[in-house]
Structure 1
C-alpha cells in the first residue's frame, strides 16, 4: 500500500513539474544574439518567425479515404533484388 501511494505521489510531482513552464516571450540566451539578416532580406527575422515551421517541414495532409479497392498502377522501380 505504501508503494502505491508513493508511486501516485511521484507521478503527481512529475506531472506538476511538466506543467510548469515559462509563459514569457522567448529571448536569445545571454551573450548571444539572433541570426543576422539574410543577404537580400529587408530585416532580420524575429524569434517567433524563426520558430514557425516551413511549409515543407509540416505539409498539409490529405485525408481522402478510398471508397473501394483499386488496381495498383505498375511501378517501374519495384524491381526484384539482385
Structure 2
C-alpha cells in the first residue's frame, strides 16, 4: 500500500514538471481572428499580456509610520 502511494506521488510529481517554451497554436490550429478594427493578428505573447485595467499598478504609497486611527462610528463592541 505504501509503495503504491509512493509510486503515485512520484508519478504525480513527474507529471507536474512541464516544459517551459514559447506558446504556439496546436498543430493544424490557428490563433483567433484579429479583433474588430485591428490592423494585424496578435501573437500568443500579445494575447497573454494583461492590460492596465486587469493588473493596475499601485498608485498609493504604503504607510511607513504608525498613525492614529480616526474615530469609526461602526466600531461597536459585540452584543451580549
- 2:64, 2:53 → 1: CA distance? 25
Q: 1:65 to 1:29 in 2, by over 3 A?
A: same
Residue 45 of structure 2 corresponds to: 48
Cα drift, residue 25 of structure 1: 3.6
How many aligned residue pairs are there? 72
Residue 8 of structure 2 corresponds to: 10
Cα drift, residue 56 of structure 1: 1.9
CA-based RMSD of the aligned residues comes to 3.2
TM-score normalised per structure 1: 0.55
Structure 2 residues not aligned, in runs of 5+: 75-80
Structure 1 residues not aligned, in runs of 5+: none
1:36 correspondence with 2:33? yes
- 2:23, 2:50 → 1: CA distance? 16
| Runs of 4+ with deviation above 6 angstroms | none
TM-score normalised per structure 2: 0.56
